[in-house]
Amino acid sequence: MATALTSGRSATTAALLALGVAACTPQGDPALGSGFRDDFERAQLGTAWRSTGGPWEIRNGKLHVRGARNKPLWLRRVLPRSVRIEVDVQSDSDDGDIKVEVFGDGVSRAEQASYRATSYVLVHGGWSNTVSIIARMDEHGNDRRERRGSPVERGRRYRWVIERRPGSNALTWAIDGQPFLRIDDGDPLFGAGHDHFAFNNWETELWFDNLVVRPLR
Q: What are phi and psi of 11, to 5 degrees?
A: -60, -35
Task: Average the pLDDT over 4-31 and give the result.
Answer: 49
What's the mean pLDDT in 118-141? 96
Domains of the chain by start residue, with CATH: 40-215 (2.60.120.560)
- Mean pLDDT rounded to a whole number for the chain: 90
C-alpha to C-alpha distance for 32 and 12, rounded to whole angstroms: 15
The average pLDDT across 24-40 equals 86
- What percent of the chain clears pLDDT 70, i.e. is strictly above it? 89
Q: Mean pLDDT lowest for which of 14-28, 40-54, 161-175, 200-214?
A: 14-28
Mean pLDDT of all residues in 125-130: 97
pLDDT bucket at 11, cuts 50 / 70 / 90: very low
pLDDT score of 114: 74
pLDDT of residue 15: 38
pLDDT attached to residue 25? 53
Q: SS in 3 state form for the chain?
A: CEEECCCCCCHHHHHHHHHHHCCCCCCCCCECCCCEEECCCCCCCCCCEEECCCCCEEECCEEEEECCCCCCEEECCECCCCEEEEEEEEECCCCCCEEEEEEECCCCCCCCCCCCCCCEEEEEEHHHHCEEEEEECCCCCCCEEEEECCCCCCCCEEEEEEEECCCCCEEEEEECCEEEEEEECCCCCCCCCCCEEEEECCCCEEEEEEEEEEECC
Q: Sorting pLDDT into bands at 50, 70 and 90, what band is 24?
A: very low
Q: Is the pLDDT of residue 128 over 70?
A: yes
Q: What is the pLDDT of residues 71-126, one digit of tens each?
A: 999 999 999 999 999 999 999 999 999 999 999 999 999 987 678 899 999 999 99
Q: What is the mean pLDDT of residues 132-145?
A: 94
User: Residue 27: its pLDDT value, please?
Assistant: 67
Model pLDDT, residue 115: 86
Over residues 177-197, the pLDDT tens digits come to: 999 999 999 999 999 999 999
